[in-house]
Amino acid sequence: MLLEARNLTVSFGAVRALDGIDFTVEAGEIVALVGPNGAGKSTALKAVFGLVEPDGGEVTFNGETINGLRPDERVTKGIALVPEGRQLFPSMTVTENLEMGAFTCDWQNRNRDMEQVLELLPALRERRKLKAGVLSTGEQQLLAFGRALMQKPKLLLADEPTLGLSPSYMDIIFDTILEINRQGTGILLVEQNATQALEIAHRGYVLRLGSVFAKGTGMDLLENEALKRAFIDD
Ligand SMILES: Nc1ncnc2c1ncn2[C@@H]1O[C@H](COP(=O)(O)OP(=O)(O)O)[C@@H](O)[C@H]1O
Ligand SMILES: [Mg+2]
């Protein structure tokens, strides 16, 4: 088991964003968290990465509890985040943005690591001297993945990586996620685009109002009425 969240509970003041949810990612898996806006998907990722402090529950990574660790300490353990909205450094070049990924981990081997990342994301190679801010949104999303991969994670978290992209770039991002996974990295993927996310995921969880509404293999959930019901207000 790579990641295990047990009875995870997070509140923002009076708002209970996560109400005791359980989810796991096994080594080699792509796991999707889907569900309507406000369901708690981003909060779940942030709790795994240490950006929000849960008021209950436990997160273990490779069998070891990581509750209370700072995000940079979790990066050292092998967890990387592709944040919602990418959060790049727009006035820095593609190369410099990639180096920022290496900054906290493996600075000495950054050139070799960058070569591996550019191999996986060849669209970035010809752009590497450009400032990140002039790239298309889709290219910027690839760069956000590249920066996270510079940390050589065992588990990659991605929050809404296809939001706002053209359909053809959405396909490129999903293909990229599949390729990253094929090279051995576990993926926890949060997506508005539930159908395509579940099509590439081994397993998925449908969240609604801070709880797990349905779970199963990607295939099962795609055929399950619960997926549609989760998105209907009642
Ligand atoms: N920083 C915050 N302060 C207050 N409420 C928040 C904060 N972040 C999220 N929430 C609330 O928690 C709930 C879950 O939000 P979120 O995890 O962002 O959902 P999702 O990513 O599924 O759209 C929502 O009701 C949202 O308004
Ligand atoms: Mg969100």
Indicate the residue type of 31.
Answer: V
Quick check: 32 pLDDT over 70? Answer: yes
Ligand 1 centroid to residue 43 C-alpha, Å: 6
> 200, 31 in Cβ contact below 8 A?
no
SS3 content of the chain, % helix, strand, coil (to 5): 40, 25, 30
Number of the ligand 1 atom closest to the C-alpha atom of 33: 22
Enumerate the domain spans of the chain. 1-78+154-234, 87-152
Residue 131: band (very low, low, confident or very high) from pLDDT cuts 50, 70, 90: very high
Residue 40: band (very low, low, confident or very high) from pLDDT cuts 50, 70, 90: very high
Number of the ligand 1 atom closest to the C-alpha atom of 37: 23
Q: Is 149 in the pocket of ligand 1 (CB under 6 A)?
A: no
Predicted confidence at residue 91, as pLDDT, reads 97
Q: Please tell me whether residue 12 adopts helix, strand or coil conformation.
A: strand
Indicate the residue type of 12.
Answer: F
Nearest C-alpha neighbor of 81 from the set 178, 10, 165, 185: 185
Number of the ligand 1 atom closest to the C-alpha atom of 39: 22
Q: Is 12 in the pocket of ligand 1 (CB under 6 A)?
A: yes
Instruction: Work out the average pLDDT over 173-177.
Output: 97
Question: How do 155-159 and 79-82 pair as beta strands?
Answer: parallel
Ligand 2 centroid to residue 125 C-alpha, Å: 30
Architecture in CATH for domain 1-78+154-234:
3-Layer(aba) Sandwich (3.40)
Three-state SS string across 87-98, please? CCCCCCEHHHHH
Q: Read out DSSP for 104-115? A: TS-GGGHHHHHH
Quick check: 101 pLDDT over 90? Answer: no
Quick check: 226 pLDDT over 90? Answer: no
Q: Is 71 in the pocket of ligand 1 (CB under 6 A)?
A: no
Q: Is 154 in the pocket of ligand 1 (CB under 6 A)?
A: no
Shortest-distance Cα residue to atom 6 of ligand 1: 12
Within 10 angstroms of residue 115's Cβ, the number of other Cβ atoms is: 10
Query: Two tokens at 104?
Result: 């906290």
Distance between CA atoms of residues 77 and 70, nearest Å = 11
Shortest-distance Cα residue to atom 4 of ligand 1: 12
Predicted confidence at residue 234, as pLDDT, reads 62
Q: Is 43 in the pocket of ligand 1 (CB under 6 A)?
A: yes
